[in-house]
Amino acid sequence: MKLVHTIEEVRDHHDATRAAGRRVGLVPTMGFLHSGHRSLMEAARADGGFVTVTIFVNPLQFGPNEDLDAYPRDLDGDLALAEAAGVSLVFAPSVKEMYPDGEVLTSVRVRGLADQLEGASRPGHFDGVATVVSKLFAIAGPCRAYFGEKDFQQLQIVTRMAGDLSIPVEVIPCPTVREANGLAKSSRNAYLSDTERDAAAVLKRALDSAVAVIEAGERSAASVELGMAQVVATEPLATLDYARVVDARTLETLDRLHGTLRLLIAARVGPARLIDNVGAVAD
């Protein structure tokens, strides 16, 4: 496995890979890798291509009062995990390498999809994500790129962005990896104490109870959302941001539930803001 820090080095490696008839699979990350990221790398490996992982804590996607400086970083640990997962190349650029002019004048915005849910709570976040991911696609020229369903809205936005801009990449969704108590794996779980980690399992309990209610025939979005909020309210260490049930493709609100749905939840537990989601179907 090779570690590179410049765009030119990535292009050289990928040009040689493609010239040798191999496909490039890209796993974009912000580092502090865990088994959720590892599952993305394993999916890329299983597809048989040359696997490149990017590690870049992208300042564009953090708001002024968010955790950019405090965001956990561990390059040595990340390299060990990536190597064990069979990754071929790690691209860990500096901010200067990615944004040499400092100010970035170009922004990629996926209207509608980026404005609700996480986008409403974190204005500008998804513009930062879509901008850096389109830049990573332009740098790496991957055939496939692997994203976790844990960040479901991000996955929808990246998929739509690649389609709208005719970027020749297949975006591959990968299932959420969870702790034994149901908590979705996230780099931000590092902020949690053991007690808070136990408390954070309430998010998945709220999602599961909502799926059960939908399966039992409930078709009112408001009732399902209220039910999720009530489950979260049973956990004193958790403060709900939103609990929503939406159309899985458009992320639009539905009064009466029908079709393929996504249930999404965000809550603060101790110092961490956590998100999670699951799918459901209403016939």
Buried b (16+ CB within 10 A) or exposed e, 153-190: bbbbbbbbbbeeeebebebbebebbbbeeebbbbbbbe
**Considering only residues 44, 108, 133, 280, which one is a binding residue for ligand PAF as defined by CB under 6 A?**
133
Q: Is 37 a catalytic residue?
A: yes
Give, as ranges, the residues between 58 and 87 that touch ligand PAF (CB under 6 A): 58, 61
How far apart are the C-alpha atoms of 147 and 76, rounded to whole Å?
Answer: 22
Regarding 132 and contact with ligand PAF (CB under 6 A), the answer is: yes
Nearer to ligand PAF, 133 or 210 (CB): 133
Region of 25-33, 75-83, 88-96, 105-113 interacting with ligand PAF (CB under 6 A): 25-33
Regarding 145 and contact with ligand PAF (CB under 6 A), the answer is: no
Contact indicator for 151, 249 with CB cutoff of 8 Å: no
Nearer to ligand PAF, 124 or 229 (CB): 124
Regarding 30 and contact with ligand PAF (CB under 6 A), the answer is: yes
Nearer to ligand PAF, 10 or 282 (CB): 10
State the nearest-atom distance from the C-beta of 187 to ligand PAF, in Å: 8
The residues annotated with a catalytic role in the active site are: 37
The binding site for ligand PAF (CB under 6 A) comprises 28-30, 58, 61, 129, 132-133, 151, 154
